[in-house]
């Protein structure tokens, strides 16, 4: 008697699992054949899309990466600097003004870098220079786009010309280089913004 009950329970479980399997696989089979039984809702006739369709003609989205001035570090020792009261800008207080400051840039691989913008507060006689620099794998400059605060006093920003450079980390490294041309609290570097499409 116990064997009969166990066999019946096993048969019932097998039937339930077979019915469940048929219910789950039928829509996929209908979608492959392109036909579904009459009265089947459209949602059951085709499997759901896993990813939304992307229009290949859709425009890329312009994004930007912002970096404040104070994370930039000198390439060599010597200059001294001070941060402004808010902490985002810096100015030189001593040492050589011929020293370049830089920070690495991490844009998405395959993005198209469009413009470098430098922000400054320049009420002194000097200038703030900024460059978006592309290095090869051995540290040589491949290409760079530069801009300066020259002739634009006060708080402001300037943009490079259109760069239109496709980011490729298999071949290049990316850095923003900045130089203040004088040790003067009136010439402050406040950061950069890199515009890119992705």
Give yes or no for residue 83 having a pLDDT over 50. yes
pLDDT at position 17, please?
63
Joined together, the tokens standing for residue 117 give 């913008």
Task: Decide which of 73 and 14 is more confident.
Answer: 73
pLDDT at position 15, please?
60
What's the rounded mean pLDDT across residues 93-117? 95
Cα 77 to Cα 82: distance, rounded to the nearest angstrom: 15
Joined together, the tokens standing for residue 121 give 């507060």
Joined together, the tokens standing for residue 6 give 């166990």
Under 8 Å CB-to-CB from 13, ≥6 apart: which residues?
none
pLDDT at position 145, please?
98
Sheet bearing 141-148, strands edge to edge: 73-74, 101-104, 173-180, 128-135, 141-148
pLDDT digits (tens, 9 = 90+) for 109-151: 999 999 999 999 999 989 999 999 999 999 999 999 999 998 7
pLDDT at position 152, please?
77
Does the pTM surpass 0.75? The reply is: no
Give yes or no for residue 54 having a pLDDT over 90. no
Give yes or no for residue 184 having a pLDDT over 70. yes
3-state secondary structure at position 98: coil
Hey, which of 4-8, 9-13, 163-167 has the most confident mean pLDDT?
163-167
Would you say 74 and 99 are in contact if contact means Cβ atoms under 8 Å apart? yes
What's the rounded mean pLDDT across residues 178-189? 94
Give yes or no for residue 45 having a pLDDT over 50. no
What's the rounded mean pLDDT across residues 49-75? 78
Joined together, the tokens standing for residue 174 give 């990316």
Would you say 99 and 179 are in contact if contact means Cβ atoms under 8 Å apart? yes
Residue 184's alpha-carbon distances to 8, 22, 45, 85, 181, in angstroms, are 92, 79, 73, 15, 9
Burial class of residue 193 (count of CB atoms within 10 Å of its CB; 0-12, 13-18, 19+): middle
CA dihedral 16, 22, 24, 29 (to 10 degrees): 180
3-state secondary structure at position 142: strand
């Amino acid at each position: 008697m116990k064997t009969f009950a166990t066999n019946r329970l096993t048969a019932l479980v097998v039937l339930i699992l077979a019915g469940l399997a048929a219910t789950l696989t039928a829509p996929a089979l209908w979608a492959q054949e392109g036909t579904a039984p009459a009265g089947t809702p459209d949602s059951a006739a085709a499997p759901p899309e896993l990813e939304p369709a992307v229009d290949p003609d859709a425009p890329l989205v312009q994004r930007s990466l912002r970096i404040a001035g104070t994370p930039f570090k000198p390439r060599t020792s010597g200059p001294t600097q001070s941060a402004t009261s808010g902490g985002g800008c810096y100015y030189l207080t001593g040492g050589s003004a011929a020293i370049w400051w830089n920070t690495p840039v991490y844009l998405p691989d395959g993005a198209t870098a469009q413009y470098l913008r430098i922000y400054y507060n320049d009420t002194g006689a000097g200038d703030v220079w900024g460059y978006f620099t592309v290095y090869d794998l051995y540290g040589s400059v491949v290409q760079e786009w530069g801009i300066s605060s020259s002739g634009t006093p006060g708080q402001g920003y300037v943009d490079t010309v259109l760069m239109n450079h496709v980011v490729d980390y298999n071949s290049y490294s990316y850095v923003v280089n900045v130089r203040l041309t004088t040790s003067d609290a009136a010439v402050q570097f406040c950061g950069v913004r890199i515009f890119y499409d992705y």
